[in-house]
């Protein structure tokens, strides 16, 4: 145990972000009778990604019974798969119900975090001044910074442009020539709403996604009444959905060939939705193994693209001019509005924020070969810093809320361990972190995300997956139940 001189920081715990991760931890702390934390939120309300993304059709592709906190079930979901507004309402309600709002400093963006080795706490630089905290837990999520494409001439466009995560609700799309760039989870949800409004919709597709039929449906009033009266029934539904999703782990992680069964269902779905246009079907047929990119679900996307006012362009974009998008074949596609469904900057947002740990080491340098952590939560040399939804905790098959709750258990146990040993901080051993990541990368090499023959935001520029957890979520839950003292050092 190394010795340090400790003084008192402003807060024992600072939580960054008031989305699922930050609110979840805040609620659990409250439930344990702890009221000594602050939540720093850059926006003026809670909700994270579910506050930011308001594009038409925005919906979670995980059923509501599982995409919610286990400790805060909601019998009132109106659909099997929750809509954005409803998830945002749920999170606002959780913040109120558990008395979290008084702990939140809104409009408080954290731009830097420096570990003060002398005093044994973190100095956070925020838009509202410095705050010191013994423990810092980040919950900013992996997908909060939109990534508009770096296309030549994009700034010269004279019409309207916006990203799916910053939808311009004041802009009237009716009767316009609209271009959409991107065919990911966001785009396939808003395209069916945009197409009927447009005089012409031109979709610029780089890679077609695999799309399955969507099993969404409204929750019936009697089902909601039953969930209110007998909460155990909703728990059973949650358990059944969880088990079904875990049964899909094998094809993703070890036996990608099993995905062929899903591919057959998706191709049949496409044929049913676009029965009369083989040319369009050919454009929309993926050339890589299902699962390599996120598997999407929609009953309306293909139908929208089959309408006479819709066109799918697969020729790469060469440049954008004031009134048009020009493709590599020289064709000028005149448009009034461009909507970017081009996704987010991922993975190392934390490092870019400017985090300095022990001995002045910057996280951006510690992560020069890519973001790595122990169990996606702690990084060697950065004591008392915990990341919820850190490296390799993402999922291709189930609910992130489950992973968030696992990491919350881990953080709470780490805090308990520090308190019980009268230490000031806990750090991670570099050799433990290295061994953990070597094993993780070995396992990831066999997954569909590496072998499936696609490029995706899951992989970094060296082709290494820094995003996803390659296994069952219950094994992550087991490993994050308690911290393993062998992998950590206590600082007194």
Contact 460, 468 (CB under 8 A): no
Q: Where are the beta strands (DSSP E) in 351-429?
A: 355-356, 385-387, 425-428
Instruction: Give the list of residues 6+ apart from residue 481 with CB closer than 8 angstroms, or none.
Output: 409, 410, 413
Instruction: Give the list of residues 6+ apart from residue 254 with CB closer than 8 angstroms, or none.
Output: 446, 447
- Least gap, CB of 207 to ligand NAP (angstroms): 3
Residue facing ligand NAP at closest CB distance: 184
Closest CB to ligand NAP among 269 and 293?
A: 293
- Least gap, CB of 156 to ligand NAP (angstroms): 16
Residue whose pair of structure tokens reads 């600082």 in the numeric block: 491
Q: What are phi and psi of 183, to 5 degrees?
A: -135, 40
**What six digits make up the tokens of 146?**
């939109």
Interface with ligand NAP (CB under 6 A)? 59-61, 143, 149, 151, 164, 181-187, 204, 206-207, 294, 317, 341-344, 457
Beta-bridge mates of residue 344: 146
Closest CB to ligand NAP among 108 and 164?
A: 164
- Least gap, CB of 426 to ligand NAP (angstroms): 31
Instruction: Give the list of residues 6+ apart from residue 3 with CB closer than 8 angstroms, or none.
Output: 492
Closest CB to ligand NAP among 133 and 401?
A: 401
- Least gap, CB of 206 to ligand NAP (angstroms): 3
Closest CB to ligand NAP among 189 and 356?
A: 189
Specify the DSSP class assigned to residue 384: T
- Least gap, CB of 63 to ligand NAP (angstroms): 11
Closest CB to ligand NAP among 108 and 342?
A: 342
Closest CB to ligand NAP among 152 and 175?
A: 152
Whole-angstrom distance, CA of residue 204 vs CA of residue 423: 56
Contact 335, 325 (CB under 8 A): yes
Pick from 37, 39, 77: which is nearest to 59 by CA? 77
Closest CB to ligand NAP among 342 and 377?
A: 342
416-427: burial string, b at 16+ Cβ within 10 Å, e else: ebbeeeebbbbb
- Least gap, CB of 194 to ligand NAP (angstroms): 14
**What six digits make up the tokens of 444?**
């990831």
- Least gap, CB of 187 to ligand NAP (angstroms): 6
Closest CB to ligand NAP among 60 and 412?
A: 60
Contact 413, 484 (CB under 8 A): no
- Least gap, CB of 442 to ligand NAP (angstroms): 24
Closest CB to ligand NAP among 37 and 457?
A: 457
- Least gap, CB of 101 to ligand NAP (angstroms): 26
Closest CB to ligand NAP among 47 and 182?
A: 182
Question: Could you write out the DSSP letters of every residue in 69-98?
Answer: -TTS--TT-SBSS-BHHHHHHHHHHHHHHT
Helical pair 221-229 and 231-246, crossing angle rounded to 10 deg: 110
Neighbours of 369 (CB within 10 A): 10
Tell the burial category of 474 from Cβ atoms under 10 Å away from its Cβ (0-12, 13-18, 19+): middle
Whole-angstrom distance, CA of residue 374 vs CA of residue 429: 9
- Least gap, CB of 227 to ligand NAP (angstroms): 22
């Amino acid at each position: 145990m190394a010795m340090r001189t400790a003084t008192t920081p402003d807060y024992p715990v600072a939580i960054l972000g008031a989305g699922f991760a930050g609110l979840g931890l805040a609620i659990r702390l409250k439930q344990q009778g702890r009221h000594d934390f602050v939540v720093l939120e850059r926006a003026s309300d809670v909700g994270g990604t579910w506050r930011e993304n308001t594009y038409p059709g925005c919906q979670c592709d995980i059923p509501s019974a599982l995409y919610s906190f286990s400790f805060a079930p909601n019998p009132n979901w109106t659909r099997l798969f929750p809509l954005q507004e409803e998830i945002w309402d749920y999170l606002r309600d959780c913040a109120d119900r558990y008395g979290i709002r008084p702990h939140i400093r809104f409009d408080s963006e954290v731009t830097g975090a420096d570990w003060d080795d002398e005093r044994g706490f973190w100095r956070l630089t925020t838009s509202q001044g410095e705050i010191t905290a013994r423990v810092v837990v980040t919950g900013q999520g992996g997908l909060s910074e939109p990534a508009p494409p770096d296309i030549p001439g994009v700034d010269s466009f004279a019409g309207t442009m916006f990203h799916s995560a910053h939808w311009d609700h004041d802009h009237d799309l009716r009767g316009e020539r609209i271009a959409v760039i991107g065919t990911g989870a966001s785009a396939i949800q808003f395209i069916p709403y945009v197409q009927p409004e447009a005089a012409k919709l031109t979709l610029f597709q780089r890679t077609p996604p695999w799309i399955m039929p969507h099993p969404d449906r409204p929750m019936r009033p009697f089902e909601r009444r039953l969930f209110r009266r007998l909460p155990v029934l909703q728990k059973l539904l949650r358990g059944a959905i969880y088990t079904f999703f875990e049964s899909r782990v094998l094809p993703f992680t070890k036996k990608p060939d099993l995905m062929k069964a899903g591919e057959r269902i998706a191709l049949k779905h496409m044929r049913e939705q676009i029965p009369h246009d083989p040319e369009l079907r050919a454009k929309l047929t993926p050339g890589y193994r299902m699962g390599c990119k996120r598997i999407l679900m929609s009953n309306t996307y293909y139908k929208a693209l089959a309408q006479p006012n819709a066109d799918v362009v697969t020729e790469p974009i060469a440049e954008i001019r004031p009134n048009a998008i020009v493709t590599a074949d020289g064709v000028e596609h005149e448009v009034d509005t461009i909507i970017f469904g081009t996704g987010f900057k991922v993975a190392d947002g934390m490092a870019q924020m400017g985090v300095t740990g022990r001995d002045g080491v910057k996280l951006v340098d510690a992560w020069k070969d890519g973001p790595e952590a122990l169990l996606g939560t702690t990084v060697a040399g950065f004591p008392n810093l915990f990341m919820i939804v850190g490296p390799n905790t993402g999922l291709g098959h189930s609910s992130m809320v489950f992973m968030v709750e696992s990491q919350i258990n881990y953080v709470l146990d780490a805090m308990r361990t520090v308190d019980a040993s009268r230490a000031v901080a806990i750090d991670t051993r570099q050799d433990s972190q290295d061994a953990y990541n070597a094993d993780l990368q070995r396992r990831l090499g066999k997954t569909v995300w590496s072998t499936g023959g696609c490029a995706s935001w899951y992989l970094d520029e060296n082709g290494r997956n820094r995003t996803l957890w390659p296994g069952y979520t219950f094994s992550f839950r087991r490993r994050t139940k308690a911290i393993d003292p062998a992998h950590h050092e206590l600082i007194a």
